[in-house]
Amino acid sequence: MWSGEGPDVIPAVKPRFLLLVAFVAVPWPAQAQQDPVAIVRRAGNVYRGLSSLQADFVQVIEDTNLGDTLSSTGRLYQAGQNNFAMRFTDPPDEAIVIDGRYSWFYTPSTTPGQVIRMPMESDPVYGPNLLARILDRPGDRYEATWLRTDTVGGRRVSVVSIVPRGTNLNFSRAVLWLDLDDALPRRIELSESPGALRILTLSKIRPNATIARDIFEFKVPRGVRIVDQ
């Protein structure tokens, strides 16, 4: 339900969990800073405790089978479990929007004149919140390895590799750059289908931001047909 500051915004509210406050108030033990399971678990707790998240992104998709590298930029938005959007500035006007009912994929640079509409993926815990799912229960679901301490956009991060123990995730390996201070992801590398690597780098991260309601509404452009899948 939309509520709080009128019909045009999703208000930023206090996190439902006190875990985020605890992480800010209590120094993270030094012995945990190279424990990959503890690092990912901390990131998952903080991320799920947010009411919303806004960040600029750079996405690179490399496909060695095709010899292609596709780069894009834009802004990412998440609010609750059922609202997600990637609004692209390059290529312009492209969008991926999850509105609580459907997932919309609009990529006129590669498939002009159409938008793909799919029923929103149903998940009893996370809904479409893929990052929360990636960060969930790392000790049970992954072989996790601490790689190094690094820097992304001037922020110190822990770099952790996770390999799923099962086959129910759409990646075979992920490398996560997780902020040492706020635990939020700054960079994610997903090895997807063989030979395909997706790299997502986040900057200007705004946790618990107030996000306009229409960010999570896809308005079909004139002359564009809906392709249901």
Could you read off the pLDDT of 92-133 as tens digits, one per residue?
Answer: 999 999 998 999 999 999 999 999 999 987 554 455 567 777
Residue 73: how many CA atoms within 13 Å on its side-chain side?
A: 5
Ranges 30-39, 133-142, 199-208: which has the least confidence? 30-39
pLDDT per position as a tens digit, 9-22: 443 333 322 222 22
Work out the average pLDDT over 186-201.
Answer: 92
CB-based burial, 96-126: b 16+ in 10 Å, e otherwise: bbbbeeebbbbbbeeeeeebbbeebeeeeeb
Question: What are the sequence ranges of the domains in the chain?
Answer: 31-219
CB-based burial, 7-37: b 16+ in 10 Å, e otherwise: eeebbbeebeeebbeebeeeeeeeeeeebbb
In this prediction, residue 28 carries a pLDDT of: 47
Q: Which residues contact 199 (CB under 8 A, 6 or more apart)?
A: 59, 60, 61, 62, 187, 188, 189, 190
Classify 31-219 by CATH class: mainly beta
In this prediction, residue 132 carries a pLDDT of: 75
In this prediction, residue 24 carries a pLDDT of: 31
Q: Which of 140, 182, 135 lies closest to 160, judged by CA?
A: 135
What is the reported pTM?
Answer: 0.80
